[in-house]
Amino acid sequence: MQDTPLATSLGLANRRIVLGVTGGIAAYKSAELIRRLKDLGADVRAVMTPAAQEFITPLTLQALSGNPVHTTLLDTEAEAAMGHIELARWGDLILVAPASADFLARMAHGHGNDLLTTLCLAARCPLAVAPAMNQAMWACRSNQDNVALLQERGVTLFGPAAGEQACGDVGPGRMLEPTELAQLTAGLFPRQILTGARVTITAGPTREAIDPVRYISNHSSGKMGFALAEAARDAGAQVTLISGPVNLATPDRIKRIDVVSALDMYEASMSALKQTDIFIATAAVADFRVENSQNQKIKKQDNSGSMTLTLVENPDIVASVAKHSPKPFTVGFAAETQDAENYARQKIVRKGLDMIVANDVSRQDIGFNSDQNAVTVIWKNGQQPIELASKAQIARDLVTLIAKRFREQDKKSG
């Protein structure tokens, strides 16, 4: 269910880019560059030199990036929020665009006299620069020597382009256009099996309220779903994790949506569909909810000896996803206590799934709440067992299988 073609979308999913902006007329293009980087899935934090702020305001870049803009090295408030060393570590890449001749000179000679040069000194991640300056400045010997020195040290050079310049000169020195810069930036990162894919995963149990203090639920811990979210992220996907109530920390670089009941999970899943290429239903969703859950605690009735709850069926989330048009590649789980493969085969057809993961939950060493699992993955013309292993390992194997089938289907549908 893609609203952008997979081949070009989200090549920067999960990537964190520190965008350095230095003083020059091309600084206005940094605003557009932030948008293009974000279109490809990147999280962007802008760092501006004082000269850059003469050309474009930090507020503009803050609004577009959705992150605070960093401007000074010696600001205690900014340092308390995210210190400069932390910021240097945060980035997967520092991209300086536009990079002025002065900045390139300071960078080449190891200066640390402002925030951006200090970040470049402290960074362990790759560095890239997109120079922008007058053609004579670009051609001048000292600038060329500085650029050569930076390239020798592994700094990537994007551009510059040749053409008409703001000052009226014609020649090389223009900053590359934002769209091209964003594509080149994505090209610095290796493609992975799920690069470009948006994956939504449900995890954990749901709770169906009886009254404000009691509920019906199950033993799902969320471990399998969270492990899958991490494995999909590590395979390059942009992951949304819709989780029932669990005691697990949110994995880094994953968007988590917390829900409580099956109806909440249904709503969140349907809302996520516009941004979903692959849907994986790991959650143990309650099939039924209490018809008339009470707003006040239900009192024990004297001498009655019993109480009756009427249950009504919850919507089947994964089946509804599979019915949606256009349909994401849809993967379900089948938690069974007997004859798991047989029941899973029935569920893949009944729910209209592309793949199902049969999970025997009668065993104590796997399934609910365990750190290990063992499953059989079933699809239309095949199946594959994944032997006993940690949930992290099972998740990696599952993601490999899902990515393969998803890419095959994606190719066929064209």
Please give the positions annotated as active site: 167
- Three-state SS string over 245-273 comes to CCCCCCCCCCEEEECCCHHHHHHHHHHHH
Nearest approach in angstroms of CB 98 to ligand PMT is: 49
- Quick note: the x/- pattern for ligand PMT over 49-88, rule CB under 6 A, is ----------------------------------------
Interface characters, 125-144, with ligand PMT (x: CB under 6 A): --------------------
- Identify which of 297, 263, 299, 302 has the alpha carbon closest to the alpha carbon of residue 283: 263
317 forms part of the interface with ligand PMT (CB under 6 A): yes
Find where tokens 């149990």 sit. Answer: 205
* Angle between helix 141-152 and 101-108 (nearest 10): 50
Nearer to ligand PMT, 142 or 369 (CB): 369
Position among 12, 201, 361, 392 found at the interface with ligand PMT (CB under 6 A):
361
- 332 binding ligand PMT? (CB under 6 A): yes
282 binds ligand PMT (CB under 6 A): yes
Tell me: does residue 347 bind ligand PMT (CB under 6 A). yes
- Residue 222 sits in the site that holds ligand PMT (CB under 6 A): yes
Distances 82 to 38, 74, 85, 392 between C-alpha atoms, Å: 21, 12, 8, 31
The distance of closest approach from Cβ of residue 343 to ligand PMT in the complex, given in angstroms and rounded to an integer, is 7
Cα(332)–Cα(45) distance, integer angstroms: 37
Measured torsion, CA atoms of residues 242, 247, 253, 257, in degrees rounded to the nearest 10: 30
229/285 with CB nearer ligand PMT: 285
- CA-to-CA dists, residue 342 to 44, 359, 376, angstroms: 48, 11, 11
User: Does position 368 bind ligand PMT by CB under 6 A?
Assistant: yes
Name the CA dihedral angle for 260, 202, 321, 333, rounded to a multiple of 10 degrees: -120
Hey, CA dihedral for 267, 316, 241, 44, is it positive or negative? Answer: negative
- Cα 108 off chain centre by: 34
Asked if 281 is part of the footprint of ligand PMT (rule: CB under 6 A), the reply reads yes
Nearest approach, Cβ of residue 48 and ligand PMT (Å):
45
Q: What is the rounded distance in angstroms from the CA atom of residue 215 to the CA atom of residue 286? A: 11
Which helix (H) or strand (E) segment holds residue 144: the answer is helix 141-152
Under rule CB under 6 A, residue 359 binds ligand PMT = yes
* 335 binds ligand PMT per the rule CB under 6 A: yes
Provide the minimum distance between the beta carbon of 407 and ligand PMT in the complex, in angstroms, as a whole number.
Answer: 22
221 binds ligand PMT (CB under 6 A): yes
Based on the shown chain and the rule CB under 6 A, indicate whether residue 198 belongs to the binding site for ligand PMT. Answer: no
Q: Which of 261, 367, 374, 402 binds ligand PMT (CB under 6 A)?
A: 367
Region from 25-33, 81-89, 130-138, 280-288 binding ligand PMT, contact rule CB under 6 A: 280-288
Q: Is 215 helix (H, G, I), strand (E, B) or coil?
A: strand
Residues 253-272 that bind ligand PMT (CB under 6 A): 262
In three-state secondary structure terms, 40 is coil
Name the minimum Å distance from CB 229 to ligand PMT. 12
Give the one residue of 285, 322, 398, 402 binding ligand PMT; rule: CB under 6 A: 285
H or E, element range at 127: strand 127-131
CB 279, min distance to ligand PMT, A? 9
Q: Can residue 223 be called a binding residue for ligand PMT (CB under 6 A)?
A: yes
Residue labelled with tokens 């008409």: 164
Point out which residues bind ligand PMT (CB under 6 A): 202, 204, 220-224, 262, 281-285, 287, 314, 316-318, 332-335, 347, 359, 361, 367-369
